[in-house]
Amino acid sequence: MKKLLILALAISVFSCKTETKPDYILISGKITNKLPSELSINTQDRSFTEAINVAADGTFKDTLTVENGSYVLYDGKNPIFLHLESGYNLNINYDAKDFQNSLIITGEGAPENNYLAEKLKKTRELLGMNASLYALSEKDYKEKQLAIKDTLTTILNAAKGVSKSFKAQEENELHYNYLGSLNVYERAHGYFTKNTDFKVSDDFLNEFDGFDYSNEADYNASPSYKKIVADHYAVKIKDYIEKDSLTQEEAFFKTARGIESESIRNTFLFDVANQTIVRAKDVEAFYKTFMEISTNEENNSVITEKYNQLTAVVKGKPSPKFVDYENYKGGKTSLDDLKGKFVYIDVWATWCGPCKREIPFLKDLEKKYHDKNIEFVSLSIDKVSDREKWKKMIETENLQGVQVLADNDWKSKFVTDYQIQGIPRFILIDDAGNIVDPNAPRPSDPKLVELFTELNI
């Protein structure tokens, strides 16, 4: 009997060990026909990103130690939305020239991720073009979004092998995605119908009556719920600005202070601050207020690092330099080559719509100041591999000034030194190479000419 008991215990211990999942995720695969210039795994809000090396034959393999949740595998063109959990061992293969029809996902975690791939494909098919979708009447739009939700729910119910926990989480996500679609309708309908005064009917958003904006579990698990919460607080920020005459930053911090959930408050505070501190007029005051409100040490560490970097690129400090950037007219150009003149730098890219909208205004400025003590530099962060696209746009748009191409797009040292996370971005440097304004007004902003006048340019 004693021997049998020992044997049973041994089997029990052995069984527990074999059922224990690893605390990491394996991801591998092969991309055929065209090697990507980059491959990375990212959170959907890009607060986390990690590069994955791709071999010469298109194969890749990596071990990830990330929190369970939603991620995007991105090759620079094709996004693959993934659900990752500890213990997953995913193998992902596709033909870069026929991504939509060639994607194959196998391994542990495949059922959940094949469902997500089918969900994305079906969603795009059902939504159609934005202009047609958002031009629909309130009734037709809501019916279409409900039909999409029902179709995706049917696909989820038919998916074999998905875990119960994933299914429950995805049912929540589909519900919140539907509600989120209602949230954006007013703005989108007004934009696509060119009716900027459009307002939805009083009962259009009645499904939000009694909505709980403090559900921490859903905030962490559902990207759509998180966006609904973010939109909710964005409206509060706007109200504070319009009704209380607060600045954008004052309204943001007042809104953040009013969030009851500490976890949601910290995340919302960090998400916004991480993107906007680079544009703060008073970086020190912004940082001080953030630190007063935030209680998350990890977030505080990230913002502190950004603050320390930003204090190196404030008014009066020597500007970071770009060195030997390719010049459209031939040869190489460095920032030091322009010393002796003020330098107005436009950081842009051929794919950036807001950047292109500034081009006519920039051309007018260049004509007005062509004989003044200032150089206009357009610094493109297009990929070096897109050099021909960059050159073609310069020719097509007859762009003037100094046209240079950054050496490593977003990762170029000049770009990272200035903590540039969004474009267009405009920087003004004086004739001695010192920063006048790291966030200078846009060419379309009359304040830029006022600034030039103050500086006797």
Q: How far apart are CA 292 and CA 289, in angstroms?
A: 5
Angle between helical axes of 248-257 and 223-244 (0-180°, round to 10): 120
Q: How far apart are CA 440 and CA 457, in angstroms?
A: 15
Question: Is residue 201 domain-resident?
Answer: yes
pLDDT the model gives residue 143: 97
Per-residue pLDDT tens over the stretch 232-281: 999 999 999 999 999 999 999 999 999 999 999 999 999 999 989 988 88
Per-residue pLDDT tens over the stretch 212-237: 999 999 999 999 999 999 999 999 99
Same domain, 334 and 278: no
Q: Which CATH number does the domain housing residue 446 bear?
A: 3.40.30.10
Same domain, 152 and 67: no
Per-residue pLDDT tens over the stretch 325-376: 999 999 999 999 999 999 999 999 999 999 999 999 999 999 999 999 999 9
Domain count, the chain: 3
Question: Is residue 320 domain-resident?
Answer: no
Q: Which helix (H) or strand (E) covers residue 310, if one does?
A: helix 297-310
Choose the final residue of a domain: 254, 284, 311.
Answer: 311
Same domain, 330 and 397: yes
Per-residue pLDDT tens over the stretch 46-84: 778 899 999 999 999 999 998 898 999 999 889 999 999
Residue 133 CB neighbour total at 10 angstroms: 19
Per-residue pLDDT tens over the stretch 116-131: 999 999 999 999 999 9
Same domain, 96 and 174: no
Question: Is residue 10 domain-resident?
Answer: no
Choose the final residue of a domain: 286, 311, 336.
Answer: 311
Q: What angle is formed at CA 448 by the lines to CA 445 and CA 449, rounded to 5 degrees? A: 110
**Are the C-beta atoms of residues 174 and 124 closer than 8 Å to each other?**
no
Question: Is residue 119 domain-resident?
Answer: no
Same domain, 149 and 232: yes
Same domain, 355 and 380: yes
Same domain, 216 and 307: yes
Can you give the residue range of the structural domain that contains 385? 325-454
Same domain, 294 and 150: yes
Choose the final residue of a domain: 282, 311, 340.
Answer: 311
Question: Is residue 249 domain-resident?
Answer: yes
**Cα separation of the two ends of the chain:** 97
For the entire predicted model, the pTM comes to 0.77
Question: Is residue 316 domain-resident?
Answer: no
Same domain, 142 and 167: yes
The position carrying tokens 């977030």 is 299
Same domain, 275 and 332: no
Question: Is residue 154 domain-resident?
Answer: yes
Q: Which CATH number does the domain housing residue 65 bear?
A: 2.60.40
For the chain, the residue count is 457
Same domain, 299 and 417: no
Same domain, 139 and 196: yes
Q: Which residues contact 247 (CB under 8 A, 6 or more apart)?
A: 241
The beta-carbon contacts of 310-317 under 8 Å, at least 24 apart in sequence, are: 310/277, 310/278, 310/283, 310/419, 311/283, 311/284, 312/417, 313/417, 313/418, 313/419, 313/435, 313/438, 314/283, 314/435, 314/438, 315/435, 315/436, 315/437, 315/438, 316/434, 316/435, 317/434, 317/435
Per-residue pLDDT tens over the stretch 400-429: 999 999 999 999 999 999 989 889 999 999
Estimate the share of the chain in helix, then strand, then coil, as percent rounded to the nearest 5.
50, 15, 30
